[in-house]
Structures are given as C-alpha cells and as structure tokens.
Amino acid sequence: MESVLELGAAKRGARLASKGFGRLFVWVWVLFSLAMLAWLILAAFKRNNTVFRDLWALPDSNELQNFSDAWDLLNLAQTTLNSLLTVGGGTALTMAVAAPAAYALTRMRFRGASPMVSFFALGIGVPVHAIIIPLFVGLSEVNLTNSLWGLTLTYMGVSMPFAVFLMTGFFRSLPSELEEAAVVEGASPLRVFSVMLPLARPGMVASALIVAVGLWNEFLLALVLTYDEGKRTIGVGLLNTFGAMRYTSNWVGLFASVVIMLTPLIILYTWLSRRIIEGLTVGATK
C-alpha cells in the first residue's frame, strides 16, 4: 500500500515539475519576444550612427523621419497597399468558402464527410515549396502570374485546409437544438446554415485572424508569383529594403520598416485577442 502511495506521489510530483517547466519555458519565450520587440521599436527611433553604440540606450532624439523615409523612399506605401488587398481579399474568400464547407462536413450527414475532413487536415502538412512550380505553371497558363488577383486566389487556396479544419472543430461544438428547431419549421439547408452561422462567430474570427496573420507574413508565393515592383507585397518589399540597407547602411530605416509591418498585426491581436482565445478554446474543448 505504501509503495502505491509513493508511486502516486512520484507521478504527481513529475506532473507538477513538467507543468512548472512548461510555464517557465513559456514565460522565458514571452519575455524574450517582448525584449526583442522593445529593442526594435527603440532602434527605429534612433539615429543611424548611434543605433549599435549602446543597444539598450533610449533614443537621444525623436527620429520620426526614419518612418517617413521608410514609407516614401522605400515604396512601403505601394507594398503595404498590395498586402492589404491580397491578404484582405484572400482571407475574405477563404472564410466565405471555408465556413459553409465546414458546416456541411460536420452538420450535414453524408457518406464521405469524415474522409474529406481528414483530406483537408492532410492539406495542412503540404509545404508550399512542393507546389510552387506547378502552381506557377498553372497560373501562367491562365495569365494570372504577376497579378494581385492571381496572388489573392493563391492565398485562398493555400489557406483553405487550415481554415476548414479549424472551423469543423468549432461547428461540432455548437448545440443542435436550434438547428433541429429550424428543420422542424421547414427551413431549407441554406436557411439553417444562416441561422447557425452567428453562433460560429468566435470561431470565424479566430480562423480569419490566424489566416490573415499567416498571409501577411507570407513571402515565397509573393516573391515567385509577382515580379513587377508595383505589385510586390510588404514582405518582398522588406527584402528589397534589406538589400538596399547593405549598401546605404541606413539600418534605422530598415527597423522602421519592420515596425510598420508589425503594427497592423499588433493592433489586430490587441483588439481581438479575447475572441481568438474564445474561438479556439470552445472549438477544442466541447
């Protein structure tokens, strides 16, 4: 009996130690990320000849000109607009298709629904590098290379597996009473879906934001599928900025460009963080 109690105590101790180590790792990672973000913001407000002299020193002057130079001289206005159009359009199209697809796969019982969900899950593991060449060839056949519209459709295609997989988990968690009441009243499947869709709003917000963040940071597809300077996205624009900084040594301009790129993501996370957590936890626990 004592050995059983000792074994149970040892297991509880191991679980507590593992949980404590996990929490410690998360906090170390959070503090490291916040420190790097703070250093980046400080560097963006410094002068170029002082940015590396004392890494953690406060700026001795308010160099807002760094952001003006990054925006105007480095063409961030055009690349940011292109990213907003392609990411916004790709996210909207993804959710417009993923929401009804996830609803049909989880709430409408038909043969093959479960294998199709698994098929979408497998699509998450396909790397972009494996499809970039056939994707470029296919888009060139329909004259959609070097096109913001073609890049938007590509973004929708690569985001669909994750969005559908995440939304299926959330739709499964929704109660069926309201759906059954609508069916009894004689509502069509499309009408039933419109009734259930507001209940899925937290899951849709979480899915849309995760998709948008991934597309905003996307680089390879934009680099390969667009080649005119006027159609580059902000990720490719930062690459060009880095190439220019290697010869001009205007590193504060590069840091200001990165801050400009991160600002929309920080605002979105701050604004919608509660909805993201709610959408992910509800879909995962019920």
Report if residue 7 sits inside a domain: no
Q: What is the DSSP string of 62-110?
A: --THHHHHHHHTT-HHHHHHHHHHHHHHHHHHHHHHHHHHHHHHHHS--
Q: What average pLDDT does range 122-137 have in this prediction? A: 87
Q: What does the pLDDT look like over 21-48, one tens digit per residue?
A: 778 888 888 899 888 888 888 888 888 7
Mean pLDDT along residues 164-191: 79
- Give the confidence band of 155 by pLDDT, cuts at 50, 70, 90: very high
Whether residue 151 lies inside any domain: the answer is yes
The structural domain count of the chain equals 1
Range of the domain at 176: 65-285
Q: Record the pTM.
A: 0.81
Neighbours of 224 (CB within 10 A): 18
- The CA-atom distances, in angstroms, between 48 and each of 27, 56, 59, 263 are 32, 14, 11, 22
257 part of a folded domain:
yes
* CATH assignment of the domain containing 241: 1.10.3720.10
